[in-house]
Chain A
Amino acid sequence: MQRFLTPTSLFVLVLAPTVSWAQLQTAPADTSTRHLRLREVVVTATRTEKALTEVPIPVTVIGKQQIKTMGALRLSDVLGEQTGLNLVADHGRGIQMQGLNPEYTLILVDGEPLIGRTAGTLELSRVAVGNIERVEVVKGPASAIWGSEALAGVVNIITQKPQPGTRSEVRLRYGTNRTADVGGTFNYKQHRLGLTVFGNRYSSAGYTLQPASGQATVPPFASYTGQSRLSYQLDDKTTLSISGRYFIENQSSELPISSEGGQTARVRLQGRQQDFSLNPTLTRCFSDKLFGTLRFYHAGYRTQENYTYTANGAPYDASYFHQTFTRPEAQLDWRLHPKHTLTAGAGYLLESVEATRYDQRHQMRSAYGYLQDDWTPLPGLNLVAGVRYDGHSQYQGQLSPKLSGRYQVRPWLAVRASAGRGFRAPDFRQLYLNFSNPAVGYSVFGTHQVQEKVAQLIAQGQIALDPATGQPLINVALLTQASSLTAESSRAYNAGFQLDPTSKLRLTANFFHNDLRDLIETAAVAQKTNGQSVYSYRNVSRAYTQGVETDARYLLGQHLTLSAGYQYLVAKDRTVLAQLKAGSIYRRDPQTLETVRLTAANYGGLYNRSRHTANVKLFYENQAAGWTGSVRGVYRGRYGFQDRNGNLILDAANEYVPGYWLLNVAAAKTFRQRYTLQAGLDNALNYTDPAYLSTVPGRLYYASVAIALGQK
């Protein structure tokens, strides 16, 4: 079923998807959706507007109303409650998708990437959700259209577009830990001009789970977000839109630092992080068959950390990190034939980084092109084939194909399947890091310069000599591997179905398998005279993740929806599996001290993966009476934390963190369609695990008030 866009609807599309999608209803009604849900349109799956019920790959959409009913403030609150997404903490809170770490999920705002990752994790609480129209989550690799990082999937945050009329809203919320959130939105649109403005201040006194450590788990912070979009219709076929974003967070804390000789000094840390972006976009509808988009995106991310002694204010340490991302891109959507829609795009990317641990400013350049055919050979059958090539200045080019299809077998049954390749480019750290630990004495060099740095160390006599041969102790094979570092990649397969047995019930399931290659690991390439090693990075490991994700949704009544989700996940390192097969991994019984050989059955897989995750949610929405409410339970099954018995793999019971439930409730009442009061309680069961769960404080109570101004 094809729904190519009329010129008028296209304009509205760019500016206001919520309106545009109503216009798209002219397409034949999809009986499979029945009364369960409105026909939602998504853009992330194919980079063109496509009805959610028609996309051939798994997509989850979380809409504005649901976000409000949940009482969510930040993106982490929203994503953490979705089936198949786990919040994990590693230098920030990120999302684990299909068992893959946060660095393998691309995070977009209106189709442009958010930058600024620390050790691969993009802190999701940097994103306020007060101006979000919806969040689209695409699962499975999407490198065929989105390029690097879209290996596990893509999260695209769609912000509100200007809507006709003038209105605004102000919101105030206060809760446990002196957490305060103040903000507002403004919307204007008349004739050719549209404007949205969003401002938010979010602050908290933080919390301390382990008082004995003398250090706050989350120190006090305050952050400000500003976001705006201006759109102007240049003529009846052309629209210019400019959006911008600015975020700043200040955080200060005190921590004990132990120096040599066992003395402890207190040090104050002042941290600041900022990100900004500017994104002008020009769209033109050349005819009812050809639609063009020109985009320019410039983004920056900066952090600054200053450590000073609390006692006398003397400097202890300071560091900074500056990153920029600049990208022009063009895309054409061409309805070649009633059954074919071609999408072609090309772009150029310039990235730069400058930081304390990098010896100079570095730049990376990349050029790319992508092509996609959305083909409907038969009614009910849709095939999407896409391919993208990314050429890069620092590593070998990447070709990412993907094929996906969906077939409506019966009005109540649809099946879909896809196969594709995903990749993740080596990051700045892996290419350019230049770091020597002053206390311990080891060094880490990015692969771009490790040869040169090792040569320098040899010349300085800092590399140990082999006592037998008198030659420097260098692993030449590893050094060569490091110098030819390439992207991590995956081959992934997804297959699933959607079942609508009655008008009130919908069941979906998706089976996934991700076969990962060339995963980047650190490797000791040389030995220093101080007994420590020189490390760099190389492509080495192979792993896989596979499992199934299922969702069920049932309309209990006119206003009440019950839903449940479950994911079963297996994630294993293939190197470990080979060692287990060869019988070369052992374990010692801690009581009897007897050693036994382990088999594949003893292996718990990759750390930080729960075999079972689940959620159960009840949403009540009665707009007429002004009441909304929700009760959401999210379960994370036990997962491996770290090795304890010295064999480096996950195999013993004490290497796991126990599973837990988080139960969140919220209720809101709107008076006279203007004033909304909301109260909520997160983590109602008061679950905490100070040793292993730094991101879960105890119970959090909150209350908020929102006032809508202007015409309704």
Chain B
Amino acid sequence: MNHLFARFSLLALFGATFTFSACSNDDNDNEVKPAEALKTETASNLAPTPSTAPTTGQPSTPRHYAFYSFATKSAVAYTDSATTKWDLAVRGTDILINGGSSGPGQGGAIVKEGLFSEVTTAPTTDYKVDAPGALAITKGSGKGWYNYNTTTHVVTPIAGRVLLIRTATGKYAKVEIVSYYKDAPATPTGTEPSGYYTFRYVYQPDGSTNLK
């Protein structure tokens, strides 16, 4: 029953998008099939500009973060940073959620160990929110989402870390960051432009905790 309900609300919201087209393939047995899997989206090269200092080529701290909305699957202008239009913001190795000290939304985050595909339900409690000096997605090598190699100076997103996100509007999503370098090179050398986030995510627009 739950599944059916979820599906109907999905249809209602996104009747014309992917959910519908997925449905149309198997409308013969839509009474018994569980809800269609949500689509895994990939966002590439989310980065604030400029992310490198023009003189030295070294990464330098850009003035603004780069903002992203799961609902619109697109970047949001930094001028909208004080709104609930964005869910996630990145600059350097820092990741903000739209809540607490970072924004006016209901955002929160949990860094969970596991496989992206194995996380099928979002928890409803224990979300951390950003505070000054203590981000919900903890800063530092090995503490949050990445490891920094002191020999090669390469920042690698830790495999098996899923960011469970409560969005600005209180909906749920799961995110896996897969690259920190421009165009997600297979084997980064540390000299590529950095701070370019490539991440996979599943966003549940209906407000339920289902992330399957």
Contact = CB atoms under 8 A, between A and B. Distances in A.
A654 interface: yes
A585 B142 CA distance: 13
Contact of A590 (B142, B176, B186): B186
B81 to A, nearest CB: 22
Contact of B152 (A584, A642, A647): A642
Interface string A554-590: 0000000000000000000000000000001111101
Interface residues of B, number: 32
B113 interface: yes
B24 interface: no
Interface stretch (B10-18, B28-36, B62-70, B126-134): B126-134
Contact of B159 (A591, A595, A642, A654): A595
Contacts of B139: 531
B25 interface: no
Contact of A642 (B132, B142, B149): B149
A467 B133 contact: yes
A379 interface: no
Contact of B156 (A467, A531, A646): A646
Contacts of B55: 262
Contacts of A642: 149, 151-152
A178 interface: no
A588 B198 CA distance: 13
A464 interface: yes
A35 interface: no
Given A262-B55, A590-B186, A593-B178, A646 B157 contact: yes
Contacts of A585: 160
A645 interface: yes
A467 B135 CA distance: 11
A597 interface: yes
Interface majority SS (helix, strand, loop, mixed), chain B: loop
Contact of B158 (A591, A593, A646): A646
Contacts of A645: 156, 159
A597 B160 contact: yes
Interface residues of A, number: 23
A644 B159 CA distance: 12
Contacts of A643: 147, 149
Interface in B154-212: 154, 156-160, 176, 178-179, 184, 186-187, 198, 200
A647 B154 CA distance: 12
Nearest to A645: B156
A584 B160 contact: yes
Given A642-B149, A643-B149, A467 B160 contact: no
Nearest to B56: A262
A584 B140 CA distance: 20
A595 B117 CA distance: 9
A586 B133 contact: no
Contacts of A647: 147, 158-160
A593 B184 contact: yes
Interface in A607-657: 642-648, 654
A595 B119 CA distance: 13
B146 interface: yes
Given A467-B134, A646-B146, A646-B156, A595 B186 contact: no
B159 A586 contact: yes
Interface string B105-129: 0000000010110000000000000
B58 interface: yes
A595 B187 contact: no
Contacts of A587: 159
A584 B161 CA distance: 10
A642 B55 CA distance: 32
B165 to A, nearest CB: 17
A61 to B, nearest CB: 39
11 contacts: A467-B134, A584-B113, A586-B158, A591-B186, A593-B178, A593-B184, A593-B198, A595-B116, A595-B159, A644-B149, A647-B158
What 3 pairs between A and B have smallest CB-CB spacing? A646-B156, A586-B160, A586-B159
Given A586-B159, A644-B152, 20 more contacts: A262-B55, A262-B58, A584-B113, A588-B157, A588-B159, A593-B179, A593-B198, A593-B200, A595-B176, A596-B115, A597-B160, A642-B151, A643-B147, A643-B149, A645-B156, A646-B146, A646-B147, A646-B157, A646-B158, A648-B147
Interface of B: 55-56, 58, 113, 115-116, 131-134, 139-140, 142, 146-147, 149, 151-152, 154, 156-160, 176, 178-179, 184, 186-187, 198, 200
